[in-house]
Amino acid sequence: MRNLKIIKSEAGKSSAAWTKKKPIPRVLYNWFLARMADLIPFAQQKQFFYRAMGIKIGKNVQILPQVFLDIFFPELITIEDNVVIGMEAFISCHEFNPTEFRYGPITIKKNALIGARAFVLPGIVIGENSLVGAMTVVHSDVPANTLAFGSPMQFKKLSK
């Protein structure tokens, strides 16, 4: 079960409900920092901008080009040591439907790899030593030492 908080809204107005929790100027500032990080081709130097957004990033983390890290709730993202996030991955701490805005933390544990164009939904924990395959939509927690892949997402235990 995902760890989510819910803001109810009028039908058709849920996409603006984040303004109840976050000032617009802060989101614009985060957007600017994220765009600056995207201009830098070197994985280690991007982290300055992501940390300025409020993302918690461990040691030896590689964030490859054109990764999207949530600009609305970046403080809810924790990336532990030795993580690799592949090109064009999408890490979003928020989602909405017609009558609700939902948000929640994302934790990527040590030694995990997120494949290119993977999409991590809010309220998810990706376990230690786990791999998320390219283009996988991560809609539930990924246990430690597990390969998560496919659509719908499947799991395969990794041997040590």
- 160 pLDDT above the threshold of 70: no
Q: List the one residue out of 53, 30, 50, 31 whose CA is nearest residue 40.
A: 50
pLDDT in tens, 105-126: 999 999 999 999 999 999 999 9
Average pLDDT over residues 129-140: 97
CATH number of 19-157: 2.160.10.10, 3.90.190.10, 3.40.50.620, 3.30.70.1520?
A: 2.160.10.10
pLDDT in tens, 66-103: 999 999 999 999 999 999 999 999 999 999 999 999 99
The 3-state DSSP class for residue 132 equals: strand
pLDDT value of position 45: 80
pLDDT value of position 1: 76
Conformation bin of residue 135: beta by default, left when phi > 0, alpha when psi is -120 to 50: left
Q: List the one residue out of 69, 109, 107 whose CA is nearest residue 91.
A: 69
pLDDT value of position 42: 76
pLDDT value of position 110: 98
In this prediction, residue 50 has a pLDDT band, given cuts at 50, 70 and 90, of very high
pLDDT value of position 28: 97
pLDDT in tens, 16-48: 889 989 999 999 999 999 999 999 877 778 899
What is the pTM (predicted TM-score) of this model?
Answer: 0.94
